[in-house]
Structure 1
Amino acid sequence: MKIGILGAGQLGRMLALAGYPLNLDFVFLDPATEACAAPLGSHIQAGFDDERALTEFCVSVDVASFEFENVSAESAGFVASRIPLHPSPAALTAGQDRLHEKQLFQRLGIPVPAHAAISSLEGLRQAVRQLGLPAVLKTRRMGYDGKGQAVLRSESELEAAWERLGSQPLILEQFIPFEREVSCLAVRAQDGQMRFYPLVANVHRDGILRTAIPTLADPLQREGEDYARRVAEQLDYVGVLAFEFFVAGGRLLANEIAPRVHNSGHWSIEGAECSQFENHLRAVAGLPLGGTRLRGASAMVNLIGDAPPVAELAALPGVHVHLYGKTPKPQRKIGHVTVTADHHDELLALLAPVQTLVERYAG
Structure 2
Amino acid sequence: MKIGILGAGQLGRMLALAGYPLDFDFVFLDPATEACAAPLGEHIHADYQDERALAEFCVAVDIATYEFENVPAKTAEFVAGRIPLLPAPVALTVGQDRLSEKQLFDKLKIPVPRYMPVATREALELAVKNVGLPAVLKTRRLGYDGKGQAVLRKPEDLDAAWGRLGGQPLILEAFVPFQRELSCLAVRGKGGEMRFYPVVENVHRDGILRVAIPQASDPLQAEAEDYARRVVEHLGYVGVLAFEFFVADGRLLANEIAPRVHNSGHWSIEGAVCSQFENHLRAIAGLPLGDTGLRGHSAMVNFIGDAPANEALAAIPGVHIHHYGKTPKPQRKVGHATVTAASAEELAQRVAIVSQLADSVGD
The bucket for the TM-score relative to the shorter chain is over 0.9
| Residue aligning to 1:292 | 292
Structure 1's unaligned 5+ residue stretches are none
2:338 is paired with a residue whose SS is: strand
Q: Give the TM-score taking structure 2 as reference length.
A: 0.99
Indicate conservation of the 8 Å contact 2:187/2:195, yes or no: yes
Q: Deviations over 1:138-189 (max 9, x none)?
A: 0000100000110111111101111111121000000000000000000000
- Matched residue, 1:332: 332
Q: Is the 8 A contact 2:19 2:278 kept in 1?
A: yes
Look up the match of 2:320: 320
Q: How does 1:27-176 map to 2 (within 5 A)?
A: 27-176=27-176
Assess if the C-alpha contact under 8 Å between 2:5 and 2:28 holds in 1: yes
Q: Distance between the aligned counterparts of 1:68 and 1:57, measured in 2?
A: 17
Unaligned runs of 5+ in 2: none
Counterpart of 2:337, as a letter, is: V
The separation in 1 between residues aligned to 2:102 and 2:326, in whole angstroms, is 34
* Superposition misfits of 4+ residues, deviation over 6 angstroms: none
TM-score by length of structure 1 reads: 0.99
Matched, 1:306 2:315: no
- Whole-angstrom distance in 2 between the partners of 1:51 and 1:326: 28
Looking at structure 1, the residues matched to 186 and 85 of structure 2 have their Cα atoms a distance apart, in angstroms, of 18
Contact 2:120 2:167 in 1 (8 A): no
Q: Deviations over 1:214-245 (max 9, x none)?
A: 00110000000000000000000000000000
- The CA distance in 1 between the partners of 2:321 and 2:252, in whole Å, is 32
Q: Deviations 1:290-330 (Å, cap 9, x if unpaired)?
A: 00001110000000001111111111111000000000000
Q: Distance in 1 between matches of 2:249 and 2:104?
A: 23
Aligned ranges for residues 197-276 of structure 1 at < 5 Å? 197-276=197-276
| Equivalent AA in structure 2 for residue 147 of structure 1 | K
| Conserved 8 A contact 2:201-2:215 | yes
Helix, strand or coil: the match of 2:109? coil
SS at match of 2:15: helix
| One-letter amino acid matched to 2:324 | Y
What are the superposed Cα offsets for residues 20-63 of structure 1, whole Å, 9 maximum, x if unpaired? 00000000000001100000000000011110010000000000
Letter in 2 for 1:247: V
2:182 is aligned to 182
Contact 2:302 2:337 in 1 (8 A): yes
Shift of 1:343: 2.2
Q: Which amino acid aligns with 2:162?
A: W
Number of residue pairs the alignment of both structures matches: 363
Residues 7-18 of structure 1: pairs in structure 2 closer than 5 A: 7-18=7-18
- What is the letter of the counterpart of residue 214 of structure 1? P
Question: Partner amino acid for 2:224?
Answer: G
Question: Shift in Å at residue 131 of structure 1?
Answer: 1.6
Identity among equivalent pairs (%) = 73
SS at match of 2:224: helix
Question: How far, CA to CA, are the matches of 2:34 and 2:351 in structure 1?
Answer: 32
Quote the Cα distance in structure 1 between the aligned partners of 2:221 and 2:7.
31
Task: Quote the Cα distance in structure 2 between the aligned partners of 1:132 and 1:17.
Answer: 47
Instruction: Supply the distance in 2 between the matched residues of 1:224 and 1:214 (Cα, whole angstroms).
Output: 13
CA distance in 2, matches of 1:40, 1:84: 22
Q: Distance in 1 between matches of 2:345 and 2:357?
A: 20
AA matched with 2:74? E
